[in-house]
């Protein structure tokens, strides 16, 4: 037996050492014993971080849906695969068994084929958190189409950019979506986006809110009648291990989103293995991750990882505050959830509501708590650990990224002793290191540096869609022969890692990874605005919030500043989405710049953080006089 399920600390260290000394041998054994391959690999791993190129299980053939669905039918056919909990609790939940999932995915896959989707085609999925969302990912994977899920909170402009970047020929959406007491006109957003997307031939529309929408003749099709007519038998396409499974966009330091490409074999092996261990999933457990499938967390730990293990995974459509702030705990109680995975921003928002509301529910089913998306502050860590876990369910603070595909640094519950605010130890097979600013590795413990990974793991993203050079520049050029994460971290005296936050111009707001460049680009479109700079500042609930410094073309702009603020946020909402709105907007006469014309964000960040005691030497700036003015008018 291989080391698929790690149960104690000694075993962790032993398996970790094995995975690092002989990565090929280690992963080959895991892949061999726990997955269904149509053909085994010729070569376990080939890699070169200089090119960069990484290939796992080359020559192997498989279909990930056979691993996530078909192989469970004999033993788990009537087990719940997806447990759908709708926005409105009165609607009642839906249990989709593995058999039913098989039936629905096959039908959906046949509809895709009938509508002209072929292996390798890109399909954009812009669907709220309803079963059709998970099913559409799997249907694409069934026929070898590459899915590109766009979070259904993005604006029409952001959607159009993503559709065009990867040349999607189909969009899957719904008439609308529920979000707490509101409804959102998703199809309207799609229609607007498609005005600038010539490549899209077909739009499949799921019915969710029964709204009256426009259906464009010849392009738009209701999904349900097509599903009803389709066969429930669809042979799984045989895929190569290195064939792309999906594209998922993440923001970066330029205005253009990066379409991270994940491939099939390695992604499957790594997400399944991490799921089993990081959550200590046991047969018959009910697992719930509150993320949206529009983010990598949902891809890997609502859909692929859990289903590859034959797990029961909860899919929740709603929000933590509807019908009231007890909703999460109500769901845990109702479905006897065993593993609960959420984000620090949700924890902080719920902690603000007090423990009385938590105490109304029976949370005794919980065995493991998880946190992901941003550093979890000490207070939130304790609140979660004490009031939700009752000091009895280990809290795993799991660090990873869209680019890493799966969890990279995390305690293994009941195995690794936890420490507040620490992601603790690298997962099996992960070789992290800390670098100083001059490119030297910081050896030993009690050091603080930039987090890199030295060796490939199976689910590393292979490229950026259509832009391999950018992939190289972003991740492999800062430090030689290493994957650079963009995060800072420290290692304590026992070798535990604590992630301290981004060291680039990505800001994490409520767990959403936001690049400053696209936001600044959107603002600068405003005719009255000359220039802008966005920085993050600490926020009680959101972790970080956005602070915008904005210079107007005409300093004596007659319009009211408050109106301008509204217009700016409206512009951001239209171009990117409401999650990127600015919390604070300060109008300035100028922005501090270096002599080469670069905006000194470090200074602006300090002012936004209200820490102006040590701004450093500002006399070498091009325009030192603007600094005092900005401090005087800071919000």
Instruction: Label residue 40 exposed, middle or buried (CB < 10 Å: 0-12, 13-18, 19+).
Output: middle
For position 56 contacting ligand WT7 by CB under 6 A, the verdict is no
Rounded CA gap, 531 and 591, in Å? 8
Closest separation in Å from C-beta 579 to ligand WT7: 12
Q: What are phi and psi of 203, to 5 degrees?
A: -125, 120
Only one of the segments 20-28, 54-62, 373-381, 387-395 lies at the binding site for ligand WT7 (rule: CB under 6 A); that segment is: 373-381
For position 287 contacting ligand WT7 by CB under 6 A, the verdict is no
**Binding marks (x or -) toward ligand WT7, 414..443, rule CB under 6 A?**
---------x--------------------
Rounded CA gap, 539 and 546, in Å? 9
Rounded CA gap, 208 and 605, in Å? 43
Q: Based on CB atoms, which residue is closest to ligand WT7, 200 or 408?
A: 408
Q: Which of residues 241-260 bind ligand WT7 (CB under 6 A)?
A: 250
Place of tokens 């217009």: 567
Number of continuous H segments (helices) and E segments (strands) in the chain? 21, 30
Q: Can you read off the two tokens belonging to residue 143?
A: 């026929």
Q: In whole angstroms, how far apart are CA 137 and each of 133, 221, 277? A: 7, 18, 24
For position 486 contacting ligand WT7 by CB under 6 A, the verdict is yes
Instruction: Label residue 221 exposed, middle or buried (CB < 10 Å: 0-12, 13-18, 19+).
Output: middle
Closest separation in Å from C-beta 42 to ligand WT7: 31
Judged by CB under 6 A, which of 49, 154, 384, 399 binds ligand WT7?
399
Closest separation in Å from C-beta 349 to ligand WT7: 17
Where are the strands (E) in 331-380, listed by range?
339-342, 368-371
DSSP state of 481: T
Q: Which of residues 76-105 bind ligand WT7 (CB under 6 A)?
A: none
Q: Based on CB atoms, which residue is closest to ligand WT7, 107 or 258?
A: 258
Rg (alpha carbons) of the chain, rounded to whole number: 24
Closest separation in Å from C-beta 396 to ligand WT7: 9
For position 505 contacting ligand WT7 by CB under 6 A, the verdict is no
Give residues with Cβ within 8 angstroms of 61, minimum separation 6: 37, 38, 39, 238, 239, 240, 241
For position 460 contacting ligand WT7 by CB under 6 A, the verdict is no
Closest separation in Å from C-beta 296 to ligand WT7: 5
Q: Based on CB atoms, which residue is closest to ligand WT7, 176 or 486?
A: 486
Judged by CB under 6 A, which of 297, 459, 544, 588 binds ligand WT7?
297
Q: Can you read off the two tokens belonging to residue 371?
A: 């946190």
Judged by CB under 6 A, which of 398, 459, 510, 586 binds ligand WT7?
398
Closest separation in Å from C-beta 401 to ligand WT7: 4
Q: Based on CB atoms, which residue is closest to ligand WT7, 30 or 499?
A: 499
Binding site for ligand WT7 (CB under 6 A): 250, 295-297, 372-375, 397-402, 423, 485-487, 499, 502, 508, 513
């Amino acid at each position: 037996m291989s080391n698929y399920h790690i149960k104690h600390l000694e075993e962790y260290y032993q398996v970790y050492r094995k995975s690092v000394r002989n990565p090929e041998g280690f992963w080959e054994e895991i892949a061999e014993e726990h997955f269904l391959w149509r053909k085994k690999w010729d070569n376990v791993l080939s890699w070169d971080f200089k090119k960069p190129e990484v290939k796992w299980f080359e020559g192997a053939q498989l279909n990930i849906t056979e691993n996530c669905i078909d192989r469970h039918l004999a033993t788990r056919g009537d087990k719940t695969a997806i447990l759908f909990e709708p926005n409105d609790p009165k609607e009642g939940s839906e249990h989709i068994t593995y058999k039913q999932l098989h039936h629905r995915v096959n039908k959906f896959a046949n509809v895709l084929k009938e509508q002209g989707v072929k292996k390798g085609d890109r399909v954009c999925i812009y669907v709220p958190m309803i079963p059709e969302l998970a099913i559409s990912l799997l249907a694409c994977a069934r026929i070898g189409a590459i899915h590109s899920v766009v979070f259904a909170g993005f604006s029409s402009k952001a959607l159009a950019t993503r559709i065009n970047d990867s040349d999607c020929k189909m969009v899957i959406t719904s008439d609308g979506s529920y979000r707490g007491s509101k409804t959102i006109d998703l199809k309207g957003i799609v229609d607007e986006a498609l005005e600038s997307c010539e490549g899209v031939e077909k739009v499949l529309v799921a019915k969710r809110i029964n709204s009256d929408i426009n259906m464009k003749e010849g392009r738009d099709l209701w999904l349900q009648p097509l599903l009803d007519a389709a066969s429930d038998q669809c042979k799984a396409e045989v895929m190569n291990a290195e064939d792309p499974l999906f594209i998922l966009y993440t923001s970066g330091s330029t205005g253009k989103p990066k379409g991270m490409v994940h491939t099939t074999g390695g992604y499957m092996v790594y997400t399944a293995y991490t799921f089993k261990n990081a959550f200590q999933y046991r047969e018959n457990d009910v697992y719930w991750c509150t993320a949206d499938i529009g983010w990598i967390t949902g891809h890997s730990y609502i859909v692929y990882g859990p289903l590859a293990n034959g797990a029961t995974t909860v899919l929740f459509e709603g929000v933590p505050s509807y019908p009231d702030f007890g909703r999460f705990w109500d769901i845990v109680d109702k479905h006897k959830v065993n593993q609960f995975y959420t984000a620090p921003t949700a924890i902080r928002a719920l902690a603000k509501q007090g423990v009385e509301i938590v105490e109304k529910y029976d949370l005794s089913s919980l065995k493991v708590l998880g946190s992901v998306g941003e550093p979890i502050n000490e207070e939130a860590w304790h609140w979660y650990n004490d009031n939700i876990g009752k000091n009895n369910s280990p809290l795993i603070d799991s660090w990873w990224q869209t680019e890493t595909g799966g969890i990279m640094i995390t305690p293994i519950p009941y195995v690794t002793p936890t420490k507040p605010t620490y992601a603790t130890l690298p997962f099996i097979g992960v070789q992290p290191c800390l670098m100083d600013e001059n490119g030297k590795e910081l050896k030993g413990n009690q050091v603080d540096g930039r987090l890199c990974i030295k060796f490939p793991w199976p689910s590393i993203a292979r490229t950026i869609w259509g832009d391999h050079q950018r992939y190289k520049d972003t991740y492999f050029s800062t430090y030689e022969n290493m994957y650079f994460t963009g995060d800072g971290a420290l290692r304590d005296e026992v070798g535990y890692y604590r992630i301290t936050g981004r060291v680039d111009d990505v800001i994490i707001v409520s767990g959403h990874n936001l690049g400053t460049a696209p936001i600044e680009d959107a603002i600068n479109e405003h005719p009255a605005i000359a220039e802008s700079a966005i920085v993050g500042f600490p926020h009680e609930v959101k972790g970080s919030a956005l602070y915008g410094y904005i210079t107007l073309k005409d300093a004596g702009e007659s319009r009211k500043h408050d109106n301008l603020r509204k217009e700016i946020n409206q512009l951001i909402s239209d171009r990117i989405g409401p999650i990127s709105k600015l919390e604070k907007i300060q109008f300035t006469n100028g922005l501090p710049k270096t002599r080469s014309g670069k905006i000194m964000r470090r200074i602006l960040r300090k002012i936004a953080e209200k820490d102006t005691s040590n701004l450093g030497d500002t006399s070498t700036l091009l325009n030192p006089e603007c600094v005092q003015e900005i401090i005087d008018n800071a919000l």
